Structure 1
Amino acid sequence: MSRSPVYFSLVLHFHQPVGNFDHVFANAYDLAYKPLLDHLWDYPDIRVGLHFSGCLLDWLLEHRPAVHEQVGRLVRRGQVEILAGGYYEPVLPMLRPEDAQGQVRMHIRAMEDLWSVTPTGLWLTERVWEPHLPSWLAPLGLRYSLVDDNHLHRAGVRCLLGTWLTEDCGHPLRLLVNLKPLRRLIPWQPLDAVWAMLGDLAALGRDVGIAPLACLGDDAERFGLWPRTHEHCWEQGYMRRFFDGLLERRDWIKTVTPTEYMERHADQGRVYLPTASYLEMMDWAMPTQEAATLGTYRRACETQDISRFLSGGFWRNFLVKYPEVNWLQKRGQDLSRALDGLAVERGGDAAVESGRKRVWASQCNCAYWHGVFGGVYLTHLRQTNAANLLAAQEESGLWPSPHWSVRDVDVDGREELHARFGPWQLFLSPANGAAAKELDYLPKRLNLATAFARHPEPYHQALREAAEKGEVITPNHPQWKEFFHIHSAEVRAKEPGLERFLDYDRFDHMPFADYLLPDETSLDDLTHGRFQPLASSWQTAMTWEVRELKEGMEAAFAGRMAFTEKSSEESSEKFFGVPSEKPLGKPSRWLDVEKSFRLFTDRVEVDYRITACGGDVRNAIWVTELALGLTSRCTGRSHGNGGEEEEKDLEQSWSFAALADVTFACPYSQGRFLVEVSPEATLRHVPLWAVTKSESGFERTPQGSAFYFCRPLRLLSGEQERFRLRLRFVE
């Protein structure tokens, strides 16, 4: 008696982000992509779908041009179906519709040029779904996409066999269901478990009268690039046994491309999906404390049917969880709208279109969210996205010098002052004491303000608990070389003692954020984010005025910074070691703060005038933070030591007394950034280390540096103090 059939569709997603290192691209090709493509050629009866992000193809076609023919011959043989996507692999719902459609259209044209195919299926980046997508995709000729079983669960659908039909405003789209159990099995678990699951789906399809479809769509990197998967998949023969097993069972396991299945079988009916992604992504998008709580409940009932109703959060909440990400995303949208206006003025100018593609490149998704891979914590990806935004502006000729305007760039209900003169550009926040949300040196396409705050993450608790029990597996542990994957319960760390770096920031790191701190605030307090300000930029709204200078531009701010007497009691509210943000004591005095930014061709000058009002100021430190996305070294100079330079390591906390000037190396731009201080101040430096979880374990990643320019503040009521920072970029 013949077995009931099941249709199996394997869709492989090939992607590396814009700005990733060349050696990562090369390893991905050598360890995963080439073996996969060669393997497919050896098995002509195994039919699959393939998706390549445009940013990966750009690198491959330049550095591994053989990929063009490798894929082309598979296409000509009719063995593979090519899927479309956003060219630079964006999360489509985070874009303006014009950019989303433009990116997908760009990718479709690239597939037509490369392999003479016009895709009708969409690879949905990170499976981030929002209900309006069918309307966006309809004009592009796309007929289907892949979503996860989690999406169907959230819509109340139990039967995951076959495909489903959705629509928006009358525009239909068919949906293939990507099965999480298959993602967890392949290639990690023994193949007998795979055959058993496919057999169960075949039997279920027979019982309910549906042609069952088992779809597995996931990263090609899992077949060679992830830790020890190259040995497992290729050297130890997992993929050979997998494909041989499919052929041995071809009488009941039918490998098909997505379109082949849909041409033979009707959909299972109508469904309307809520906003969703795969289950893990929805958990990661939750606020940290809520994600930890959700994880507890999920583990408690993961074997019960009720677990499918624990749906997690909403992808866009990453823009809340990480304010730095929100700024980058909103800057891209702001630029895109400005380019629309420029295109109308110029009538389709080529420079505008070049700028638009730079904006699209800045939208590559990997630096906009975080789960178990680096994501937002990969500094080089954030800096590349920021650099592409500046390149878009300069290549298109947008906002030529001199320029200033006021608008709510990041859509937080408060306007930013945008000032540009010569090579310098600033986005200043009057609502936050004129702290800078962006500090740009345009000739180098360099946003210096890419430091990232240290955020608590749900997985940090697992590291703490394992460290307390002495159960962290490090490279010198006998278990380190054993097979490991991202779903393993064990805690691995690439170096011992990582739990010592689990520090968190109460405040965003921005250039020119100001604090009034108690005298006894130590370098250790700054390092571990434990300082309690008496007053700060974050509670100081300022008025502003822009003035033209003979050879520059000035943005002048003024505001009242209320401060409190130090409380003898500290709040006990903490989460993962984060102090409460409740104010200390009652306001009793204030400082009148005048803060002026002067932009010239060769420098930026930031002048302060601080006046004590309502009483004397004693036992306090005025601190101006210069947060920079630097992870290298710097040299400082003090008149007190004869003007000799002293090199400092940006991987360590340190203090430099009586500083006159400091020079920072800029490894991404081949230049030096000079800050002069007048009068001299004490410079305290804090390296911003994030402890992140990657596919190979916990690791420490640099997020930039916080430089605190500190000076004692001793003022009688009515007295003033002045000081200046001067910034230069030195080739």
Structure 2
Amino acid sequence: MEGLRFLLGVIISPPSETSDTELETFYHQSLKPLLSLTFRFPDVPLTLYISGPFLEWLETHHTEFITALAEMIRRKQVEVLGGGFYSPLLPLLPPSDRIGQIEELTTTVRRLLGRRPRGGWLHNTVWDPSLVLSLTGCGLEYTFLDEEDFVRLGVSSTKIGIPCVTENQGRILTCFPVKSTLAEQIMKGNLAALDLTIRQRFGHDDSLLSVFFSLSSLQEVPFFHEASGFENFLNILRSGYPGMLCVNPSSYLKRATVMYDRVFFASTDYATLCRHVGISPPAYAERQSWKQFLTDFDDSNRLYSKMVHTHLLVSSLRGDKYKKKAALEELWRGQSLRAYIPDGRLARTCRQKAFQSLISAEVLARDKTIFLSSLTSLDFNLDGLKEFLFQGTRYNLFINPVGGVAFEWDWLERPWNWADADHLTHRSPAKVFVDRFFHENGETGEFWSKEFRLVDLNREQRLLTLAAVSTLSGPLGTVHVRIKKSFKFEENSVELTIELELLSGPEWSGWYEQDSYLYCGQADSGLFRYDPQVPGEAQLIDLPRGLNFNWTWEAGEAPLLEIVNHTSSALAGDYVAHRFAPRWKINLVVGTPWINRVTWNLLERSGDEFFAGN
């Protein structure tokens, strides 16, 4: 007998960094019309994934939604999925965090809606075989993958759409195929694609077509409240195709009459991830793991490294279970998918929010009764090269031996990472303590790309000294110059001593500039002060953190340049960072080093100063 089962789902996962006002607009424009229409079509079951933070927001602001949804679950019109509480990219997380997030959402769904989830949603359907253990270990029986994954396995066209089972270490997981491209076409009004796909799928009663719509953006989605959109679509499903039955996952599995094929899915490749998140895949992406994006996008890798480091700190916390639970919640909040996937302005906002959560988790993981400031070396960036980490009572400052630059500068009392500036179009990185050289014909030397060797790591005095050699061109030819950078870390300051030494060749004349990019959140969040009549001193006022950066240096007059940078991409006009670039005129000769000392003092502003914005 010919037939078809149709599985309809909606993913509801607005950014967790969204304000209450924005969520209210999202609720009334998209979610409320969706629930109202679903309630009127009891013969079209709906499968939902709702992120944990948004479920809790609904509990606080719209209990009527929770009540109606629970009633629809009781009459088996709606099935709610589990998954990661904070909408993470699950394969990216350490196994214990995967399990923690899944169990947290399972508990919340059961508490609010009265039913434990049987299946789990994977954001962007990114797959890794190790997920079998994580999902089944939390009591989940099935998940969803893109139909492309089934096609790559060689599943025949007559079986495309029918679930398969996969296994890992004796654990069995059922995988439903989802036709992602069809959902996008339907939301754009292309119902011809729907009709064609349905007619192609008609066959045995176990034939299945699964379509999931996404409600994960705050932008208005006309499809869910216009009569020609979701309502028309539900009418088509109800009466347009005799022999087609709408199901949810549990009812389909209960009525299935065929034995599912056993398959082993390979990890999602990089090209597939790029298509799912809307970024251009590089060459050879089909041959690379989805995790390759961490190599291609430095911002994502820095956050990932911070997340792994924080995970290790929180995991080692013993004794106070309430403190550990609070630290875990901050850690999980910092694992939201949107913070890691490069997605323009949204990723920019989400990434800094994630840094704030991870810094908060790190602070909670410390035992303040025994914690002492420390200077250590550790492969923080997970690149095979040890970085240098100063972890103080008020701030963290991490130095990369490549370039001798700071790539993370955390303020702990009001969690913030000042070194989280976006990449710019010029060659040198938008980091802190970047060394640049100029002569009359332009920039020369690339110390910021050189690996500095370790000269001294004095943990007791909290002193770090690095050195590197590079060539500088000039009117008199090419010369070799060594730069030595010594960092002295104090509780409220950082002192950097710079020594430039000409090793060979004729004298070299030009300018030495030290660039530092500090991200304050918005252009007007940081106020800059510099008096040319006081050439050795400048100040940045960080209003949200209530701090003054007092910056002093020793060597002669140095005009300080301050620029609020803007990208030249599609996001032109977006704030990038406050840039500070003191530039010194120098003349290097063999045997006579040029030495300067730059000091950053971090001073809290008084309440009157802060609120006055002075």
Global fold match (TM > 0.5) = yes
Residue among 384, 387, 393 paired with 1:416:
387
Deviations 1:693-712 (A, max 9, x none): 7xxxx775433344333222
Aligned residue number for residue 506 of structure 1: 427
Q: Does 1:683 align with 2:591?
A: no
3-state SS of paired residue (2:265): coil
Residue among 214, 226, 229 paired with 1:235:
226
Q: How does 1:497-646 map to 2 (within 5 A)?
A: 504-521=425-442, 532-536=444-448, 538-548=450-460, 554-565=462-473, 588-600=479-491, 602-615=492-505, 617-630=507-520, 631-633=522-524, 634-641=526-533
3-state SS of paired residue (1:410): coil
Deviations 1:24-57 (A, max 9, x none): 4333222111211122112222101111111222
Shift of 1:387: 0.6
Question: Could you tell which deviates more after superposition, 312-321 or 405-414?
Answer: 312-321
User: Is 1:677–1:726's contact at 8 Å kept on the other side of the alignment?
Assistant: no
Aligned residue number for residue 405 of structure 2: 435
Q: How does 1:247-258 map to 2 (within 5 A)?
A: 247-249=238-240, 251-258=242-249
For the structure 1 residues 188 and 594, does the alpha-carbon distance in structure 2 shift closer, same or farther, using more than 3 Å as the test? closer
Q: Does 1:381 align with 2:350?
A: yes
Shift of 1:210: 5.9
User: Is 1:93–1:128's contact at 8 Å kept on the other side of the alignment?
Assistant: yes
For the structure 1 residues 116 and 186, does the alpha-carbon distance in structure 2 shift closer, same or farther, using more than 3 Å as the test? same
Shift of 1:70: 3.3
Q: How does 1:80-95 map to 2 (within 5 A)?
A: 80-95=78-93
Shift of 1:267: 4.8
Measure, in 2, the Cα distance between the counterparts of 1:185 and 1:287: 19
3-state SS of paired residue (1:393): helix
Measure, in 1, the Cα distance between the counterparts of 2:188 and 2:448: 51
Query: How high is the sequence identity, in percent, across the aligned residues?
Result: 20
Measure, in 2, the Cα distance between the counterparts of 1:729 and 1:659: 18
The TM-score with structure 2 as length reference comes to 0.89
Shift of 1:97: 0.7
Q: Does 1:715 align with 2:588?
A: yes
Shift of 1:85: 0.7
Measure, in 2, the Cα distance between the counterparts of 1:335 and 1:362: 10
Measure, in 2, the Cα distance between the counterparts of 1:321 and 1:286: 15
Measure, in 1, the Cα distance between the counterparts of 2:472 and 2:505: 12
Deviations 1:57-88 (A, max 9, x none): 23333344433223222212221111001111
Shift of 1:513: 2.3
For the structure 1 residues 714 and 25, does the alpha-carbon distance in structure 2 shift closer, same or farther, using more than 3 Å as the test? farther
For the structure 1 residues 286 and 114, does the alpha-carbon distance in structure 2 shift closer, same or farther, using more than 3 Å as the test? closer
Measure, in 1, the Cα distance between the counterparts of 2:194 and 2:148: 20
3-state SS of paired residue (2:225): helix
Q: How does 1:31-50 map to 2 (within 5 A)?
A: 31-50=29-48
Measure, in 2, the Cα distance between the counterparts of 1:626 and 1:92: 35
Unaligned 5+ residue runs, structure 1? 295-309, 455-503, 522-530, 569-584, 644-657
Residue among 300, 306, 318 paired with 1:325:
300
Shift of 1:337: 1.6
For the structure 1 residues 636 and 687, does the alpha-carbon distance in structure 2 shift closer, same or farther, using more than 3 Å as the test? closer
Question: Could you tell which deviates more after superposition, 53-62 or 147-156?
Answer: 53-62
Letter in 1 for 2:453: A
Measure, in 2, the Cα distance between the counterparts of 1:278 and 1:39: 37
Aligned residue number for residue 187 of structure 1: 187
Q: Does 1:167 align with 2:40?
A: no
Measure, in 1, the Cα distance between the counterparts of 2:270 and 2:435: 41
Shift of 1:533: 3.1
Measure, in 1, the Cα distance between the counterparts of 2:189 and 2:13: 24
3-state SS of paired residue (1:271): coil
Unaligned 5+ residue runs, structure 2? 606-614
3-state SS of paired residue (1:624): strand
Q: How does 1:3-14 map to 2 (within 5 A)?
A: 4-14=2-12
For the structure 1 residues 546 and 135, does the alpha-carbon distance in structure 2 shift closer, same or farther, using more than 3 Å as the test? same
Q: How does 1:301-316 map to 2 (within 5 A)?
A: 311=286, 313-316=288-291
Q: How does 1:66-215 map to 2 (within 5 A)?
A: 66-159=64-157, 160-202=160-202, 206=203, 209=204, 211-215=206-210
Residue among 265, 272, 279 paired with 2:264:
272
Shift of 1:453: 1.0
Measure, in 2, the Cα distance between the counterparts of 1:445 and 1:327: 16
Measure, in 1, the Cα distance between the counterparts of 2:287 and 2:344: 21
Shift of 1:123: 0.3
Shift of 1:716: 2.1
Letter in 1 for 2:389: H
Deviations 1:171-225 (A, max 9, x none): 11111111134223222124344233212211xxx2xx46211101231257xx5
Measure, in 2, the Cα distance between the counterparts of 1:393 and 1:362: 11
3-state SS of paired residue (2:43): coil
For the structure 1 residues 171 and 269, does the alpha-carbon distance in structure 2 shift closer, same or farther, using more than 3 Å as the test? same
Measure, in 2, the Cα distance between the counterparts of 1:635 and 1:191: 54
Measure, in 1, the Cα distance between the counterparts of 2:62 and 2:490: 45
Aligned residue number for residue 446 of structure 1: 416
Residue among 577, 593, 597 paired with 1:704:
577
Residue among 340, 343, 352 paired with 2:315:
340
Measure, in 1, the Cα distance between the counterparts of 2:388 and 2:473: 32
Aligned residue number for residue 303 of structure 1: none
User: Is 1:285–1:314's contact at 8 Å kept on the other side of the alignment?
Assistant: no
User: Is 1:660–1:678's contact at 8 Å kept on the other side of the alignment?
Assistant: no
Measure, in 2, the Cα distance between the counterparts of 1:512 and 1:237: 57
Q: Does 1:726 align with 2:600?
A: yes
3-state SS of paired residue (1:401): coil
Letter in 2 for 1:154: R
User: Is 1:673–1:729's contact at 8 Å kept on the other side of the alignment?
Assistant: yes
